[in-house]
Amino acid sequence: MQKNQSTSRGQRVEDATNAAKEAWGSSQIGPFDYIPKVGFREYWYPAIWAKEVPKRKPKMVTMLDEDIVFFRDKFGEVASLTDWCPHRNARFSLGESVFPGTITCPYHGYTFDSQGQCVAGLIDHPESPLIPKLKARKFPTVEFKGIIFLWMGETDPVPLEEDLPFELSDAQNDMYVRVRDWETNWTEPVNQGIDFHEAYLHRKQLGSLGKSKFKFHSILSKDLAFFRPKLAYYGGVKVDTESDHFFTLNATQPFIGEAFHPGVNAYWPKKPWWVFLKPKIRKSKKNDPNERQSLIGTRPFAHAGQLPSIVRVFGGGGEISVHIRWMVPVTAELTRTWTFTVGRRPQTLIGRIWKNFWYYFWRKPSIIVRTNEWEDLVVFMKDRLRFDLPQKLGPLDTGVIYFRRHLAKRSRDFQRLGGAVGTIKAQPTRTAQQWKEGEQEK
Ligand code: FES
Ligand SMILES: [Fe+2]
């Protein structure tokens, strides 16, 4: 990413302080003031598994409100064009690859190569003057670990590594991936990944108000800070580490036990189950944040956000694995959620078997399905959360404010084009062409 005044270290530290101040003053910053409704565009996004693109049939994927057709080029690699044929705008994805490496539109048979250039009009004269003039928009693609990543921007693509979560490109790591469509705008699963709601929303799983006597989660998770639900309330939230496109968050001064709330004249939680944990475990050095480092080399964090739409959650288990979610806006109301569980690759066969067991019988059912899909999503999915009414953000939302106001302005859309399409307060001030000319002058 380009360096400039607004991304210098000093400015960033001020951003963190300002976000915290704004939070204590009850902020009204809206979800789309500086954040585009269907996503930042000058980025790579995961699009489709390469193996899902067959040899002769095209495949269509909608992302960032664009319909994209995927097919195989003449080397067998996955290529992508807009789904709309430039002749009279029928869908390529309903056509087929009549000739290897090309896509033929189902309507009049104009045929395009992987660069989007029309190379034949099957029922038009072979010398037709229209053929060289027909050009479909091409989207750059890169394949990485079997996933096709798509560059959605108008400006020149950056190397894929700049946008990948750092853990994915670390050769020592392996990953599990789950892809699901969530019926919500992409920003809410991002906000959910950088706010602090778990002590309430997930309180039953966490055990603090659980009805069941047998608390499976708490047994398996004594060492995971996230799963030690002795917390009554958070004293606040602070931005802990920052970079040009990334930040981590931690809760400050968590209050442990039961807290008295004068407005209801009562204590909460009503039944703090933590008393059953042995003090030895509660004092364990392993749980001291200063003794540890997360997989990404920062101090352990509770939540982390990364441009364009990536979150990490569960700092406690950060040395073993990290739970990464990459939200791909499909439309303004639909999000394709890629969940990556990334961690060190086991060295032995037993280690690999154990890790598969851990993922398929514990991590996936408990965290990805139960926590994220059954508890988080159902709160903010379609018709259950309004994006159009004013919001008031407080101390628990420091990360949300930081993302909406400060990280947004460090996005490539802002750096290159002066703003982002689909924001309320910061439309682009430059075209991609003007950006390019500016780059050449430098
Ligand atoms: S619309 Fe595609 S060939 Fe006519
Ligand atoms: Fe959650």
Express each pLDDT in 252-306 by its tens digit.
888 877 889 999 999 988 766 544 443 334 444 444 545 556 667 777 788 999 9
- pLDDT at res. 208: 36
Ligand showing the shortest atom-to-Cα distance for residue 134: 1
Nearest CA-CA partner of 300 in 318, 313, 321: 318
The single-letter DSSP state of residue 347 is S
Tokens of 14: 């001020």
User: Domain boundary residue among 87, 120, 151?
Assistant: 151
Q: Distance between CA atoms of 39 and 330, rounded to whole angstroms?
A: 9
| Alpha carbon nearest to ligand 1 atom 1, residue | 88
> Could you tell me the CATH number of the domain that includes residue 247?
3.90.380
Which residues in the chain land under pLDDT 50?
Answer: 1-7, 207-229, 274-287, 289, 315-318
Q: Distance between CA atoms of 284 and 304, rounded to whole angstroms?
A: 24
Ligand showing the shortest atom-to-Cα distance for residue 200: 2
Q: Is 440 contained in some domain?
A: no
H or E element that contains 242: strand 236-243
How far away, in angstroms, is 122 Cα from ligand 1 center? 11
Residues 326 and 387 placed together within one structural domain of the fold:
yes
Tokens of 394: 């407080």
Q: Is 433 contained in some domain?
A: no
Residues 101 and 19 placed together within one structural domain of the fold:
no
How far away, in angstroms, is 180 Cα from ligand 1 center? 32
Reduced to 3 states, what is the DSSP secondary structure of residue 3?
coil
Q: CB–CB of 83/93 below 8 Å?
A: yes
Q: CB–CB of 374/205 below 8 Å?
A: no
How far away, in angstroms, is 204 Cα from ligand 2 center? 12
How far away, in angstroms, is 328 Cα from ligand 2 center? 18
**Ligand 1 contact via 103 beta carbon (within 6 Å):** no
Residues 336 and 372 placed together within one structural domain of the fold:
yes
Total of domains in the chain: 2
- pLDDT at res. 16: 87
Q: In ligand 1, which atom is closest to the CA atom of 108?
A: 3
> Could you tell me the CATH number of the domain that includes residue 98?
2.102.10.10
Q: Is 416 contained in some domain?
A: no
How far away, in angstroms, is 142 Cα from ligand 1 center? 28
- pLDDT at res. 348: 94
Give the structural domain span for 229: 9-38+168-282+290-404
Q: In ligand 1, which atom is closest to the CA atom of 92?
A: 2
Q: In ligand 1, which atom is closest to the CA atom of 109?
A: 3
Q: Distance between CA atoms of 195 and 227, rounded to whole angstroms?
A: 16
Residues 239 and 94 placed together within one structural domain of the fold:
no
Q: Distance between CA atoms of 423 and 37, rounded to whole angstroms?
A: 7
- pLDDT at res. 336: 98
Ligand showing the shortest atom-to-Cα distance for residue 323: 2
Q: Is 250 contained in some domain?
A: yes
What's this model's pTM, rounded to 2 decimal places? 0.89
H or E element that contains 180: strand 173-182
**Ligand 1 contact via 107 beta carbon (within 6 Å):** yes
Q: Distance between CA atoms of 345 and 24, rounded to whole angstroms?
A: 42
Tokens of 297: 């080399």
Starting at the earlier edge strand, list the strands of the sheet with 59-63.
Answer: 59-63, 66-72, 78-82
Nearest CA-CA partner of 255 in 270, 235, 275: 235
- pLDDT at res. 92: 98
DSSP string, 285-302: GGG-GGG---TTSSPP-S
**Ligand 1 contact via 85 beta carbon (within 6 Å):** yes
Q: Distance between CA atoms of 31 and 309, rounded to whole angstroms?
A: 13
User: Domain boundary residue among 151, 183, 204?
Assistant: 151
**Ligand 1 contact via 345 beta carbon (within 6 Å):** no
Q: Is 235 contained in some domain?
A: yes
Residues 392 and 249 placed together within one structural domain of the fold:
yes
Q: Distance between CA atoms of 198 and 190, rounded to whole angstroms?
A: 14
**Ligand 1 contact via 110 beta carbon (within 6 Å):** yes
| Alpha carbon nearest to ligand 1 atom 3, residue | 108
Q: Is 413 contained in some domain?
A: no
Q: Is 442 contained in some domain?
A: no
Cis peptide leading into 269, omega within 30 of 0?
yes
How far away, in angstroms, is 368 Cα from ligand 2 center? 10
**Ligand 1 contact via 273 beta carbon (within 6 Å):** no
Q: Distance between CA atoms of 308 and 143, rounded to whole angstroms?
A: 19
| Alpha carbon nearest to ligand 1 atom 4, residue | 108
Reduced to 3 states, what is the DSSP secondary structure of residue 147?
strand
Q: Is 432 contained in some domain?
A: no
User: Domain boundary residue among 92, 121, 151?
Assistant: 151
How far away, in angstroms, is 326 Cα from ligand 2 center? 15
Residues 178 and 113 placed together within one structural domain of the fold:
no
- pLDDT at res. 229: 46
Q: Distance between CA atoms of 73 and 71, rounded to whole angstroms?
A: 7
Residues 116 and 177 placed together within one structural domain of the fold:
no
How far away, in angstroms, is 337 Cα from ligand 2 center? 14
Residues 247 and 356 placed together within one structural domain of the fold:
yes
Cα–chain center distance at 68: 20
**Ligand 1 contact via 90 beta carbon (within 6 Å):** yes
**Ligand 1 contact via 105 beta carbon (within 6 Å):** yes
Residues 137 and 178 placed together within one structural domain of the fold:
no
- pLDDT at res. 298: 73
Ligand showing the shortest atom-to-Cα distance for residue 94: 1
Beta-strand (E) ranges in 20-140?
44-49, 59-63, 66-72, 78-82, 103-104, 110-112, 118-121
**Ligand 1 contact via 131 beta carbon (within 6 Å):** no
DSSP string, 300-324: P-SEEEETTTEEEE-GGGTTTEEEE
Reduced to 3 states, what is the DSSP secondary structure of residue 431?
coil
Residues 102 and 177 placed together within one structural domain of the fold:
no
How far away, in angstroms, is 121 Cα from ligand 1 center? 9
Q: CB–CB of 270/204 below 8 Å?
A: no
Residues 135 and 209 placed together within one structural domain of the fold:
no
How far away, in angstroms, is 197 Cα from ligand 2 center? 6
Ligand showing the shortest atom-to-Cα distance for residue 89: 1
**Ligand 1 contact via 16 beta carbon (within 6 Å):** no
Q: Distance between CA atoms of 164 and 414, rounded to whole angstroms?
A: 19
Residues 113 and 14 placed together within one structural domain of the fold:
no
